[in-house]
Chain A
Amino acid sequence: MRVMASSKDLDAGLLRRMAELGGLKLPADRAEKLLPLAKALLKSCEKLETLDLEAKGGAGSLAPWGGLE
């Protein structure tokens, strides 16, 4: 099941709604200008969706960079 907007479906209107949900009111002309970059970024996000990574819960031991494993 897809839970994110697809880069293929993305148009200026959807991009404006997504940006507004993220906290930025985007005028229509800016959304048009942003569309190619936003599509490229969503493609990157879609690649990450294909990964089958285990979601680990709880307070694990320290990861190498100091965060939680």
Chain B
Amino acid sequence: MSDPLFLSIAELGKAYRSRKLSPVDITRQCLARIAKLDRQLNAFITVLEKESLARAAQAEKELARGKDLGPLHGVPVALKDLVDMAGVPTTYSSKAGSPKTPKRDAPLVARLKASGAVIIGKTNLLEYAYGAVHPDVGQTNNPWDPKRTSGGSSGGSAAAVASGMCYAALGTDTGGSIRIPAAYCGIVGLKSTYGTVDLTGVQALSWSLDHGGPLARSCADAALFLAAITGKRFTAKLPNVKGLRVGVMKHHDEARHMQSGVKKAVDSVLARLKKSGAKLTPVSVPDMDMAPDALMAILYPEASVIHQRLIAAEPDGFGEITRQQIEAGFAIPATAYVRGQMLQRELAMRFRKLFDDVDVLISPSVPWVAPAEDPALNDDSGAGEMLYSGLYNVLGIPALALPAGLSEGLPAGLQIATPWGADSLAFSVGAAIEAGVGLLHPPV
């Protein structure tokens, strides 16, 4: 058997049920891997050693007596540290307003527990998921090259999954916060359709743009995790891509940001799809390149209202960049916020028409591989990082990041977007691409 920490969730479940592996042993191995690697990676804020071993022992007993809670039973997973888990501090990777120890589980955590998953810990994030590292917490380093970032804001979840510390993890995504770290770490991340994941008990950043979703090592694993946190059914069946209508996204500004190695990796996936019978058409939609402006006009004021009390009470608790972003949001004119919403609606109508002609949209996830540090949200590099991802937060459609291959030894990411509610189609086309690219394993 290959390294058990890198098995798929289905393979792990099979090994549990045939008693070749045990939830307690696997949880111990995950904990040992965290102890070994996390000083270097800084992926976890809280490791739940006792609790996870107790849950694993319970899962082991339940499986032994035939009580099977499903595919995640006994599987170690992690939560981004902005979601409520009863009795466990939530820090938001900040020094403002933290830590808070909730009395109740967020509904998605309750569902995860009911699915038998072993929650092994809570992961590092950009402060309050708002684009910048708190200097006292530090960035999550990349398992492919610890001198680089894992991306954000769900970087801790991505690094933990990529390095074999757990099998899947929760992320949230307001402008790319699941897909950017998935791309940098060479794993799969889905920003599900707006509203699919119940975000009650999850710290909001922008209620119009926030989405939840899984980070995992394969499309099939991500589909299982999404099913567990939503109670809905998702699949990642390998489709026959013959006749699949693929819109290849053409953004006005992409040549300026694009690294040649990322372009090469994405182009080679597109060439394979074409060879398999998919119909590729270059597409763009009027005004779609202004989606980042709409995103900023909506995100900043919503985030400022959300953090209004805290910024007044504990301004020094925030890192300087986060503090500036929250303060600046108060000065956005209401008319700009409304124009952002108007463009959001208009683009949704235009993309609904576009989906009459194409089944899926494909682009890179990020135009480059993992940089040393996360770029600032509102400068040119921040705009480049969110070039492909932010549009789909504005639209609310599902968008899946997955590896397209390697560029100079680092993962290059590809993104698949599908119509509202077609999350399983994204997983399925992703699974077909994954079969050609293969799963990536970082050197750590």
Contacts and interface: CB of A to CB of B under 8 A. Distances in A.
B327 A51 contact: no
Contacts, number: 108
Most interface-central of A30, A65, A69 (chain B CB within 10 A): A65
A4 interface: yes
B340 A34 contact: no
Tell me if B's interface is mostly helix, strand, loop or mixed.
helix
B195 A45 contact: no
Interface string B327-353: 111111101100110110110110110
A28 interface: no
Contact of B349 (A24, A34, A48, A69): A69
Contacts of B359: none
Contacts of A30: 327
Given A53-B342, A65-B348, A40 B378 contact: yes
Nearest to B323: A30
B331 A18 contact: yes
Contact of A41 (B332, B346, B352): B332
B48 interface: no
Nearest to A67: B345
Contact of A3 (B290, B325, B332, B335): B335
Contact of B327 (A19, A44, A53, A56): A19
A24 B294 CA distance: 22
A47 B290 contact: yes
Interface residues of A, number: 32
Most interface-central of B290, B292, B327 (chain A CB within 10 A): B327
Contacts of B300: 41
Interface string A6-48: 0000000001001100111010001001100110110011011
27 contacts: A5-B333, A22-B331, A23-B304, A23-B305, A23-B308, A23-B330, A26-B330, A34-B331, A38-B328, A38-B331, A41-B296, A41-B378, A44-B293, A48-B294, A49-B339, A51-B342, A51-B343, A53-B343, A56-B345, A63-B345, A64-B395, A64-B420, A65-B195, A65-B348, A65-B420, A67-B345, A69-B349
Interface of B: 193-195, 287, 290, 292-294, 296-297, 300-301, 304-305, 308, 311-312, 324-325, 327-333, 335-336, 339-340, 342-343, 345-346, 348-349, 351-352, 378-379, 395-397, 419-420
